[in-house]
Amino acid sequence: MSKADLHMHSTASDGGYSPSDLMHKCKKAGLSIVSLTDHDSTEGIAEAKETASSLQITIINGIELSTKAQNKNVHMLGYGIDINHQELQDVLAEQRILREKRLHSILQKLKDVDISLKPEDVTKHTDGGSIGRPHIAKALIEKGFVHNMDEAFAYYLAEGKPCYVEKAEEMTPLEAIQLIHRANGLAVVAHPVYYNLDNEIEQWIHHYHLDGVEIYHRDHNEETVLYYEEKMKIWEVQSGRKLLRTGGSDFHHEEYGRHPEPLGVSTISERLALELLEAIPSRDKS
């Protein structure tokens, strides 16, 4: 049976594989429909689409935007976006500047604990995409300061550790939803189990026209999936419209990430992925 994975990351953000290599892994995992959803970046999509086409994989333009709500980091997935949309790219350019400033702040904190890294030690791991803490962790490993990703975060980079730096001011969920819609995409809140913000999600559906919820995710156990399946039915009745049910493995790498696991560990049916494709206002543009 064909299956889809609509949440994954490449080296264009904090993933471990190039967009092309990631598509080859998708083929080996038996995926027929995928979406590359790098953090605050569309830089890997063109390469991924070229490879996916040669492998006869359907790929949907995607992105995972960073937002803040109730002092919590909330991720908003955008599907079918026009990656050439000027406002979207302007916002992503601003995000890159903020991430670069955060990088320099973290490097200064590392220097304060006698760890010296240059910006280029980190940026060479980004493939020109958005900079994240995993890239700093890779530099720490390469220079011999830590042995692996787990140590990098446990000793220095995780929240509450000596070299952690809070992200700069981010978009609100409303701003992200509206931006995705203006870029001709569909907005879906990612892994809601992380936030405990169901009342807010309900408001985003009713007032902001949020298009769907990522119900199926590697960190959603069976109980969580059933809970959100029931919530979706209620929200659909209340809003008077059909909502999208999406899912994916949130793959970064087999050896690191929130829960290092193989690509495709969490998938959805081809039917649900096709429903998403059919709902995209003007189909994605490359």
* CATH number of the CATH domain containing 237: 3.20.20.140
Q: Is 164 a member of any domain?
A: no
- Asked if 272 and 133 sit in the same domain, the reply is no
Identify which of 79, 88, 82, 85 has the alpha carbon closest to the alpha carbon of residue 58.
79
Do 105 and 242 fall into the same domain? no
In a domain, 286, yes or no: no
pTM beyond cutoff 0.85: yes
The two three-digit tokens of residue 126, written as one number: 């980004």
* Domain identity same for 126 and 251: no
- Do residues 258 and 184 share a domain? yes
In the 8-state DSSP scheme, what is residue 118? -
Residues 8 and 63 in one domain: yes
* Structural domain count of the chain: 2
Say if residue 96 is in the same domain as residue 32: no
Asked if 277 and 33 touch (Cβ cutoff 8 Å), the reply is: yes
Question: Domain of 121: which CATH number?
Answer: 1.10.150.650
Of 118, 133, 157, which closes a domain?
A: 157
- Same domain? 8 vs 105: no
Per-residue pLDDT of the chain (286 residues; tens, 9 = 90+): 689 999 999 999 988 899 999 999 999 999 999 999 999 999 999 999 999 999 999 999 999 999 999 989 999 999 999 999 999 999 999 998 988 999 999 999 999 999 999 999 998 888 777 788 989 999 999 999 999 988 999 999 998 999 999 887 789 999 999 999 999 999 999 999 999 999 999 999 999 999 999 999 989 999 999 999 999 999 999 999 999 999 999 999 887 665 567 888 889 999 999 999 999 986 555 5
Asked if residues 219 and 193 have their Cβ atoms less than 8 Å apart, the reply is yes
Q: Are residues 39 and 99 in the same domain?
A: no
- Cα separation values, 230 from 222, 242, 266, 270, Å: 12, 13, 20, 21
Which of these three, 110, 134, 157, is where a domain ends?
157
Give yes or no: residues 184 and 65 share one domain.
Answer: yes
Domain identity same for 176 and 234: yes
Residue 130, helix vs strand vs coil: coil
Residue 285 lies in a domain: no
Give the residue numbers spanning the domain of 102: 92-157
Residue 167 in domain: no
Regarding whether 188 and 269 lie in a shared domain, the answer is yes
Q: State which of 157, 188, 205 marks the end of a domain.
A: 157
Which residues, listed in sequence order, are joined to residue 31 by a DSSP beta bridge?
Answer: 3
Whether 162 is covered by a domain: the verdict is no
Same domain (yes/no): 185, 249: yes
User: How far is the C-alpha of 85 from the C-alpha of 87, rounded, in Å?
Assistant: 6
